[in-house]
Structure 1
């Protein structure tokens, strides 16, 4: 009887649960900014694992540099600022899809900054000055052009130079830039470390609550891997909902993938983490880009927005996956 019981036990449902689950590995491009916090939160809470996905995080400089990696398959998903997405649609239609929203501006989250002893006191003082922007034809140039317009200036009245966000502070302090476009946590860091002064909040007026970035994949990947894309969307939206209800989750996550400590993370100003992908909001970016000459004609953003799947109440795996290390994405 004992022998028979043992044999019967070998075929029991409990025994079958020991079979290793198969996961699909996806590489996701992130930046060390608040926009990307939900990727790490979704990892920590097992949301990707519940969808059969294993995420490897890859550091990218910006959406523009991530686009080739999405196209050649070295990345499956990446953070993508909306101007880069609009430019991609304008230049190479039907090659990229936005699968989820990531971040939206709020007051004091994006500013033009100057050194504490700078003679620049207002936007009207910017004529002839050297302005550091994150990348050309991006949220940084778009919102800076809108700020210049208020002072009766245009981009022809200043000099724009691309400057990686982590290098903005030293560029100002060494005199290589007169003004720098910054986001958090660099705004707070500059104020604390060197007394950096805010010249202008670029998210006001026609840029108030402007959508900043979403999560992108290539059109080819979306067509070939619909289950993985839908799983990525569901996992990420669960994390977006979490932080929309409790921004402290972002503050506690930031020190795990940026160089800011918990004390700084507790004081920075955070934007909004949207929980939908509404085209009317994102269309504002394309319309502003046309107004400021960054694209030549109208772009309907619905062409590159992939609708979100129905949400599920599937619980995350009780064993959260361990954090995955990061690697540099090749830019060549």
Structure 2
């Protein structure tokens, strides 16, 4: 009888130890995060804080391994997001709202700051009716509607930014909306650049992370934004750092440095509900269909700078 009791006790103790080990392993799995972020950005001034943070090792200091891809075509980047090839991306809010409507589960974690001048064709002469090179579902189309109210605009949709530049040089279009520093690259080639003031407090671009990545890797996402804010501080103290990193990483002519018009850079922040509604209304009008998105489903304030 004693032997039976002893055997039962050993079995119970063994089970307890096994359960404890399973519990410990389970907890360990929960706290382990993927520290690699696959991020897609555009060749634009918005990217400067990210490029600078990577160059200075700020992401590495936060334990973040950033795999960065620079796109010249917003449509290609959008396809990469939808295909699950990216964990995060710099997107126009117009594209983002459409992606969410199409089933993408992601949130805006911060706005970015860009500058989008109007560039005139090589032989442009002032006139009322103009052909303007744009990307249809994009920030530049949204901004063109705000900037060019004095013109009768015929929109010509050219997704690739280098092709937009080429169309200007060949006088196939009268104007194009190009982001800095590419707009200054066009100016260096002899084209006129017109800088319009931002009618809103925000530029309609943002960094988005997939819901799955945020849920599984909150500390990695936090580390990304910490590094981003650190780079913003550097740029505010010395704007030339933004110009230099853009010229270097985008492989542009150093002579454009004094031509580049930088935006006012902000630490991490998110658009308010009124601005999202403005973007949503414009997008619905463009496409002739309703989006009906809830602000709290597409924006998180967890990474806003304190």
Which bracket does the TM-score occupy, shorter chain normalised? 0.7 to 0.9
Which has the larger share of helix? 2
CA 1:252–1:175: 2 relative to 1, 3 Å: closer
Name the SS of the counterpart of 1:158 in structure 2. strand
1:259 is aligned to 251
CA 1:227–1:170: 2 relative to 1, 3 Å: same
TM-score, normalised to structure 1's length? 0.71
User: How far did residue 258 of structure 1 move?
Assistant: 0.9
Which of 34, 46, 69 is residue 45 of structure 2 equivalent to? 34
TM-score, normalised to structure 2's length? 0.76
Aligned pairs, number: 271
User: How far did residue 146 of structure 1 move?
Assistant: 2.6
Which structure 2 residue ranges, 5 or more long, are not aligned? 1-32
Query: Which structure would you say has the larger RCO, counting Cα contacts within 8 Å and 6 or more residues apart?
Result: 1
Paired with 2:268 and 2:57, the residues of 1 have a C-alpha distance of 21
User: CA-to-partner distance for each residue in 1:221-262, whole Å, 9 max, x for gaps?
Assistant: 212222221221222222123223321210121122112233
User: How far did residue 173 of structure 1 move?
Assistant: 1.8
CA 1:276–1:28: 2 relative to 1, 3 Å: closer
User: How far did residue 285 of structure 1 move?
Assistant: 5.2
1:105-120 equivalence runs, <5 A? 109-119=115-125
CA 1:47–1:159: 2 relative to 1, 3 Å: closer
User: How far did residue 300 of structure 1 move?
Assistant: 4.8
User: How far did residue 196 of structure 1 move?
Assistant: 1.3
Which of 71, 88, 95 is residue 60 of structure 1 equivalent to? 71
Structure with bigger gyration radius: 2
* 1:268 and 2:265 aligned: no
2:94 is aligned to 83
Which structure 1 residue ranges, 5 or more long, are not aligned? 1-21, 313-332
1:219-230 equivalence runs, <5 A? 219-230=211-222
Name the SS of the counterpart of 2:247 in structure 1. helix
RMSD between aligned residues: 2.9
Whether the 8 Å CA contact 1:283–1:300 is kept in 2: the answer is: no
